[in-house]
Amino acid sequence: MKLKLFIIIAIILVISLFGTVIALAKTELARLEIINRSDQPVSVSLIGEEIGYFLTVSPGKTQVFTVDRDNYSRTTFSCGLVDSGSVNIKKNMRLVFTNCYGNAPNWGEPRQEKVHIDDAPDGINWLYK
């Protein structure tokens, strides 16, 4: 009887420890949503300290990616142009690529940045530079 109780307690302990490890592992990832409102494909290359990504979104589509939380060197391919800089993905982020023609729209809601590659604003409030 004592052996069965010990085994049951050990199994419960292992399961709860395994659940904690999974919960901690999930916090190492961030959600990156790319909304492409342009009429051309958008690609973003992210190079971090330990990992890299090449993300592509078709015209008029939205795609969600899961990436490691990091500060990345990035290269953006949009509207037939190439731009380089950095992006800090420490929290979930939404990038909205606007129409290739016309002026850049307003900033957008919190954790959302509108990217207009011709005249994209930069400054301390922008994580995507």
More confident call, 110 vs 15: 15
Q: How many CA atoms lie within 13 A of 50 on its CB side?
A: 5
Q: What pLDDT does 63 receive?
A: 96
- Dump pLDDT digits (tens) for 52-67: 999 999 999 999 999 9
Q: What pLDDT does 41 receive?
A: 94
Q: At 121, is the pLDDT very low, low, confident or very high (cuts 50, 70, 90)?
A: very low
- Dump pLDDT digits (tens) for 68-83: 999 999 999 988 888 8
Contact 94, 76 (CB under 8 A): no
More confident call, 110 vs 6: 6
The predicted model scores a pTM of 0.65
The fraction of the chain above a pLDDT of 90, given in percent, is: 33
> What does the chain look like in DSSP terms, one character per residue?
-HHHHHHHHHHHHHHHHHHHHHHHHHTTEEEEEEEE-SSS-EEEEEE-SS-EEEEEE-TT-EEEEEEESEEEEEEEEETTEEEEEEEEESS-EEEEE--SSS------STTEEEE-TTT---STT-SB-
Q: At 125, is the pLDDT very low, low, confident or very high (cuts 50, 70, 90)?
A: very low
Structural domains of the chain in order of their starting residue, each with its CATH number? 29-115 (2.60.40.10)
Q: Is a pLDDT exceeding 50 seen at residue 122?
A: no
Q: What pLDDT does 113 receive?
A: 60
